[in-house]
């Protein structure tokens, strides 16, 4: 900047001096027409020369700035690719490394579709879908291997497109290692939980079988033992069934279903149990939800609300009211809240609710809530829990409405 100011100062100094000399020469040669023409011609060439000098000075500065910009582009860790009608016009050094090429000639003039493993038609469809988007994809290197990249595309004009690539292969490997580690950790926790939950009923079964083996003749005792043994076997069967449900993808059989009819049938199933605990179940939102239709697997959604209502009933030992509140929103979804007046969940324990083999109730496995969350997730819905100790719990379920 200082050099440029210095050059401009010199030029203006020369022009100022020339103006003074010219003014003096004109006054001396006022009567000499020939000399005036000669000097006019000389000064014309001189001014042209000064203009060229200014232009070259500006061009030199632009060339310098261009060189700096090119160095930045070539040294950046991000890959830059410029294309014209899909053909590569320019790549920087980072792109060269990502493509596994040693020379730019290996990439230039090739169609970008070659490095995405796409045919021309597929490439045009891909371009229309992903234009102006940031996506994760794979590129083909010149040796045939694939590289995971994050790709951003930008349209310059009708012919030209600019792509920015970032190598994400290392971060993806790191994420896979972390995920694998987390899976192993979860498997370990599940194994420990399964062993604990199944060992308890197995211990009971073993004890009763030993009593029977030792020859007890009391028929009433045998019936009592058999009843307890069947209950323990059923407990093991339930745990195994829930684990099997969670361990593999479940096919969801979707059909139109009236939500209020579904909820009323669940209340009918559990009303007897609720009465035993002096609990009243209220269904609110008839006006809003009477004709509400959802696409769902009716059996599985019933299972969710049976689990939620059972949990609420078991948490209210001294009676009270359970409210099922139905609301519709403008986001094409229906929201169902199950609100109880039970003992609630302490704040420090709330984050663990819904994890395998963690339950706030005695003898619970936590698998029921895990299964419920899985079912709602498979229906593209959401299940959340809010609770205050000694005040009650609210479970909110959100499901998409049939259109």
pLDDT digits (tens, 9 = 90+) for 57-76: 666 666 666 677 777 767 78
Q: How sure is the predictor about 362, in pLDDT bands with cuts at 50, 70 and 90?
A: low
User: What integer pLDDT is reported at residue 2 of this predicted model?
Assistant: 47
Dist. CA 26–CA 29, nearest whole Å: 5
Average pLDDT, rounded, for the chain: 76
Dist. CA 70–CA 318, nearest whole Å: 77
**What pTM does this model have?**
0.47
Say whether pLDDT at 201 is over 70. Answer: yes
Range 35-49 average pLDDT: 56
Say whether pLDDT at 51 is over 90. Answer: no
Q: How sure is the predictor about 366, in pLDDT bands with cuts at 50, 70 and 90?
A: low
Count how many Cα atoms sit within 13 Å of the Cα of residue 401 in the half-sphere of its side chain: 18
Instruction: Select the more confidently predicted residue: 31 or 93.
Output: 93
Range 176-184 average pLDDT: 69
Range 250-273 average pLDDT: 86
User: What integer pLDDT is reported at residue 183 of this predicted model?
Assistant: 61
245-247-248 Cα angle (round to 5): 80
User: What integer pLDDT is reported at residue 326 of this predicted model?
Assistant: 92
Instruction: Select the more confidently predicted residue: 208 or 261.
Output: 261
The answer to whether the CB of 297 falls within 8 A of the CB of 355 is no
The answer to whether the CB of 101 falls within 8 A of the CB of 113 is no
User: What integer pLDDT is reported at residue 178 of this predicted model?
Assistant: 74
Tokens of 322: 């359970």
Q: How sure is the predictor about 37, in pLDDT bands with cuts at 50, 70 and 90?
A: low
Q: Which of 6-10, 168-172, 270-274, 391-395 has the highest mean pLDDT?
A: 391-395
User: What integer pLDDT is reported at residue 273 of this predicted model?
Assistant: 85
The answer to whether the CB of 401 falls within 8 A of the CB of 335 is no
Q: Which of 54-58, 68-72, 231-235, 245-249 has the highest mean pLDDT?
A: 231-235
The answer to whether the CB of 147 falls within 8 A of the CB of 168 is no
394-396-400 Cα angle (round to 5): 170
Instruction: Select the more confidently predicted residue: 329 or 152.
Output: 152
Range 338-353 average pLDDT: 80
User: What integer pLDDT is reported at residue 138 of this predicted model?
Assistant: 87
Range 210-237 average pLDDT: 76
- Cα dist. 47→176, 334, 356 in Å? 70, 80, 88
Range 255-259 average pLDDT: 90
User: What integer pLDDT is reported at residue 135 of this predicted model?
Assistant: 81
User: What integer pLDDT is reported at residue 158 of this predicted model?
Assistant: 82
Say whether pLDDT at 246 is over 70. Answer: no
Q: How sure is the predictor about 139, in pLDDT bands with cuts at 50, 70 and 90?
A: confident
Range 131-150 average pLDDT: 84
User: What integer pLDDT is reported at residue 133 of this predicted model?
Assistant: 73
User: What integer pLDDT is reported at residue 321 of this predicted model?
Assistant: 94
Tokens of 396: 């909110």
Range 270-275 average pLDDT: 87
Kind of pairing, strands 160-167 and 79-84? Answer: antiparallel
Query: Residue 314's closest CA among 347, 337, 338?
Result: 338
Buried b (16+ CB within 10 A) or exposed e, 99-113: bebeeeeebeebebb
User: What integer pLDDT is reported at residue 247 of this predicted model?
Assistant: 61
């Amino acid at each position: 900047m200082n050099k440029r100011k210095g050059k401009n100062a010199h030029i203006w100094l020369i022009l100022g001096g020339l103006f003074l000399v010219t003014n003096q020469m004109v006054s001396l040669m006022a009567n000499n027409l020939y000399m005036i023409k000669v000097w006019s011609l000389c000064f014309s060439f001189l001014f042209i020369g000064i203009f060229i000098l200014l232009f070259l000075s500006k061009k030199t500065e632009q060339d310098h700035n261009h060189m700096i910009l090119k160095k930045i582009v070539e040294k950046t860790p991000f890959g830059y690719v410029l294309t014209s009608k899909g053909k590569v016009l320019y790549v920087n050094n980072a792109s060269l490394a990502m493509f596994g090429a040693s020379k730019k000639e290996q990439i230039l003039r090739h169609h970008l579709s070659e490095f995405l493993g796409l045919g021309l038609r597929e490439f045009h469809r891909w371009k229309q879908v992903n234009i102006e988007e940031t996506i994760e994809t794979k590129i083909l290197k010149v040796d045939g291997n694939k590289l995971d990249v994050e790709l951003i595309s930008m349209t310059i004009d009708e012919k030209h497109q600019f792509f920015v690539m970032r190598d994400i292969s290392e971060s993806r490997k790191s994420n896979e290692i972390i995920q694998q580690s987390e899976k192993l950790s979860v498997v370990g926790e599940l194994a420990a939980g399964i062993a604990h939950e199944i060992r308890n009923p197995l211990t009971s079964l073993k004890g009763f079988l030993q009593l029977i083996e030792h020859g007890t003749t009391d028929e009433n005792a045998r019936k009592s033992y058999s009843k307890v043994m069947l209950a323990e076997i059923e407990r093991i069967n339930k745990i195994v069934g829930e684990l099997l449900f969670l361990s593999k993808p479940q096919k969801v059989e979707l059909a139109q279903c009236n939500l209020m009819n579904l909820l009323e049938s669940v209340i009918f199933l559990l009303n007897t149990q609720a009465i035993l605990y002096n609990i009243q179940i209220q269904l609110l939102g008839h006006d809003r939800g009477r004709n509400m239709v959802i696409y769902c697997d009716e059996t599985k959604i019933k299972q969710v609300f049976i689990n939620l209502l059972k949990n609420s009933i078991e948490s209210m030992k001294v009676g009270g009211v359970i409210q099922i509140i139905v609301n519709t929103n403008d986001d094409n979804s229906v929201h169902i809240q199950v609100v109880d007046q039970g003992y609630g969940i302490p704040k420090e324990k709330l984050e663990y609710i819904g994890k395998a083999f963690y339950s706030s109730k005695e003898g619970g496995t936590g698998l029921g809530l895990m299964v419920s969350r899985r079912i709602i997730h498979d229906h593209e819905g959401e299940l959340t829990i809010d609770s205050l100790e000694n005040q009650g719990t609210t479970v909110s379920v959100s499901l998409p409405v049939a259109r």
